[in-house]
Amino acid sequence: MEKNPFVFAQEQLQHAAKIMNLDANVLNVLQQPQRIHEFALPVVMDSGEVRVFEAYRVQYDDSRGPFKGGIRYHRDVSLDEVKALSFWMLLKTAVVGIPMGGGKGGVIVDPDELSEGELERLTRAYVRAGGGIFGPLIDVPAPDVNTSGREMDWFVDEFAKLTGEHQPAVITGKTVENGGSEGRGKATAQGGYFVLEEAIKRIDVGDAPTVAIQGFGNAGGNMARICHEHGYKVVAVSDSSGGVYDENGLDVPALLEMEKGKKICDLPEYEEKCIENEALLELPVDVLVPAALENQITEENASRVQAKLVLELANGPTTPKADKILFEKGIPVVPDILANAGGVTVSYFEWDQNLKNEKWTEEEVDAKLSPIMKDSFAETAKRADEHGVDLRTGADILALERVQDAMRERFGLKAAEKVA
């Protein structure tokens, strides 16, 4: 039976807290969210029927700044999942040092079953239900699973109707035409690449490191393009249909130009080079980039991973037991809360631009993103080396240190006994 995600999040908290001797007062505060909001959203369907959708917004902690986190539309959304995700968002914003907290939202719905008009009415109902819990200095949502700039634009418009004022900084991930940031679309991969540049210095590679990327969507596709442009040899990529592998390197630009809707393994020129997604994870490469789904590297296959470095662009692609196996094998895993934090960092840039009524170029965004990601990796690696732990625990420790400092300063928490 799959573990409750919030139980796992709390185990992660307890593990890092014990290693770093986290202040017991801070630990007590972090064992539950500050606020949990549950909504029943009535939506008029195209048929005239009214359906009521269950929805949540969890505001975990804002000691470092406004709550920050996406809103997902998925039939499997649950309160425990949203609580766990909001905690992980707190760690993610803290590990890269941006002045925001952790939150998350979700609606129990299969968006494929709704028309565009029904999705718009659902989104606007969510904004109205939340009312005063949102605001540029209170809680700043963003896109997540099955939501995009379209839904964020609807959110801004509905929020303006509620408040009588257009406030684009109330949400990030908007379309560029409606206040979104240049560079946001590639931000997850771009941030991951900046981290990779630093992480790869810790392993023995040649002039053209080999890379295998599981997942060829926004994150994986952009990562393939960026690595190719910087002289890495991308030898394998995959989508839901499977992958292709060529030890001499793939024609990444051609793959990115594939006709929309086609699958990699359906292309005649790659028919002889197709492999299963599972096989991609076990290729003898310098860098393995899981950029698709969670729970891909497990205790069953971790011993067969041959990569010298794993960079998690997906959320949760490596299970805890697999983490331990890889650590014992000497394979560093750059954790998702750091490796894919370029997305939330550029979301913060969008918020900052909106508040200042500024518009930065893509080059300016990249120039601001690079030192944040590289410095965060350096600090993460420092914590991992100091405590003799893996990079994931190092990232957790760094994030919790920053949350602890903020709680003590903002709320006047006095130091208590350390965690035993």
Sign of CA dihedral 208, 246, 303, 195: positive
Q: Give me the catalytic one of 68, 83, 92, 104.
A: 104
Which residue matches tokens 């939501």? 147
CA 380 to centroid of chain Cα atoms = 17
Other CB atoms closer than 10 Å to residue 9's CB: what's the count? Answer: 22
The sign of the torsion formed by the CA atoms of 153, 368, 217, 330 equals negative
SS3 assignment, position 141: strand
DSSP tally for the chain: helices H, then strands E: 14, 12
329 assigned to active site = no
Contacts of 345 (CB under 8 A, 6+ apart): 96, 98, 187, 191, 369, 372, 373
Neighbours of 39 (CB within 10 A): 17
Cα–Cα dist 23/18, whole Å: 10
Catalytic center residues? 104
